[in-house]
Amino acid sequence: MAGHTKNKPRWGDSAAIEGLLEAQEDLEAEEAVRAAEESGVDLGGRPAFEPTDKQRELVKNMARCNMPQEAMTLMVTWPNGRPIAVNTLRKVFRDELITGHHEVGMQLVGAAYKKAMAGDTGAICFLLKTGYGFRETVHQEITGKDGAPLQAGVTGVIAVPGMIADAETWEKMAADQQSQLVQRAAEIVSGSSS
């Protein structure tokens, strides 16, 4: 078969063709930006955010407190006072976000470890469950009186209106069933199951 390739998109697959074209355009744009930056050409737009040491420390402290990144951006601003975007925060302060969060985690695990080594059973259980895969299992057995099997429900037939032809018979059966149910409920509550 001349001209046929395995990876060639089919003519009717316009979404695949559009995706390929967009990917090619993105790649070409990225290469153009990279080449312009390397040659020192001004591409216009907003200049890159340059954080101060104070801002870096602030972000690291907020990461230690597990503050949401959206809230962090309100505390870190451009020189004109406008907050930075979340993407800028993640790009510029990547190391501070990661190390701040993990430093506190290490300190907390260290404190839990010290308490566990000192004999604190709560800390021991916590570390075993979270760090070592231990878990508590609860087995419940429900039995009837004196360990006998449970009795499931009340036996009998429920009289439904319309099943019995005469109303007198139906009313008598319904009253009998009602009294049996009340009596059985009282037995269950008092614990004298038969």
Is 59 among the domain residues? Answer: yes
Cα(193)–Cα(187) distance, integer angstroms:
6
Residue 117 has pLDDT above 90, yes or no: yes
Is 102 among the domain residues? Answer: yes
- Whether residues 116 and 68 share a domain: the answer is yes
Q: Is 100 exposed, middle or buried (0-12, 13-18, 19+ CB in 10 A)?
A: buried
pLDDT at 137: 81
Beta carbons of 127 and 134 less than 8 angstroms apart = no
Only one residue has tokens 């309100």, namely 74
Residue 185 has pLDDT above 50, yes or no: yes
Domain boundary pick from 91, 116, 131? 131
How confident is the model over 40-54, as a mean pLDDT? 80
Cα(38)–Cα(122) distance, integer angstroms:
57
Is 139 among the domain residues? Answer: no
Task: Report the number of distinct structural domains present in the chain.
Answer: 2
Cα(10)–Cα(19) distance, integer angstroms:
13
Residue 190 has pLDDT above 60, yes or no: yes
- Whether residues 61 and 114 share a domain: the answer is yes
- Whether residues 57 and 125 share a domain: the answer is yes
Cα(66)–Cα(91) distance, integer angstroms:
18
Residue 55 has pLDDT above 80, yes or no: yes
Is 31 among the domain residues? Answer: no
- Whether residues 64 and 118 share a domain: the answer is yes
The domain in which residue 165 lies consists of: 156-190
Interaxial angle between packed helices 53-64 and 94-117, expressed in degrees from 0 to 180 and rounded to the nearest 10: 40
Write the single-letter amino acid at 190: S
Residue 127 has pLDDT above 50, yes or no: yes
Residue 29 has pLDDT above 80, yes or no: no
- Whether residues 110 and 58 share a domain: the answer is yes
Q: What percent of the chain has pLDDT above 90?
A: 36
Cα(102)–Cα(63) distance, integer angstroms:
9
pLDDT at 9: 47
Residue 80 has pLDDT above 70, yes or no: yes
Determine phi and psi for 29, rounding to 5 degrees. -65, -45
